[in-house]
Amino acid sequence: MASSTIILTNKPEMSYTGDKARGDGFYGYSDGLHTVSFHVNSFTGRIWLQATLLEMPTEADWFNIALTTSSEYLQIDADSKTLGASFTGNFVYVRAMVDRTYLVDQSYAVGLHGAVDKIVLMI
C-alpha cells in the first residue's frame, strides 16, 4: 500500500536538514522503491536526499542518495517548478537537506533565495 509523507518544507534559513521520514525498509517492504517530488518557488540552492539503514541513526549513519546519473543533488537556480525522482533501497529512514553554503550571500531572504514549498516522499 502506497503512502506519502511531506519530509521537508521551507525554513527561513540558508541551509537546513529536514526531519527523518520512514522509508520502505522501516515497513519491511521488499521492493525498496521510493518516489519523491520536489516543489520549489523561485528557489536557488541544492537539495540533497539522504538515507540510513539503521533504526536509531546517528549523524554519521546517513549517506547521500544519487538523484541523477551525474550528481547526488539537485541544483536549482532561481526557478519555480516541480521535479520528481525515484530510487531503490531498503532504507529505514529518508531525509532531505537544503544546501546553500556555496552561495556568497549567507543572509537568507525569501525574495532572493526562494523557497522549498514541500518535498514529498512516496513509498
pLDDT digits over 109-123, tens only?
A: 999 999 999 999 999
The residue ranges of DSSP E strands in the chain, in sequence order, are: 4-8, 16-17, 21-22, 33-52, 63-64, 73-88, 93-99, 115-122
pLDDT band at 28 (very low <50, low <70, confident <90, very high): confident
pLDDT band at 89 (very low <50, low <70, confident <90, very high): very high
**CATH architecture, domain 4-122:** Sandwich (2.60)
Cα Rg of the chain, angstroms: 14
Quick: pLDDT tens for 3-15: 889 999 999 999 9
Quick: pLDDT tens for 29-86: 889 999 999 999 999 999 999 999 999 999 999 999 998 888 999 999 999 999 999 9
Distance, in Å, from the CA atom of 89 to the CA atom of 103, rounded to the nearest integer, reads 32
CA-CA distances (angstroms) from residue 95 to 2, 58, 62, 119?
Answer: 18, 13, 9, 10
Which residues, including other chains, have CB under 8 Å from residue 106's CB and lie 6 or more apart? Answer: 14, 100
C-alpha cell at 96: 532531505
Q: What is the pLDDT of residue 1?
A: 52
Share of the chain above pLDDT 70, in %: 98
* Cβ atoms of residues 119 and 17 within 8 Å: no
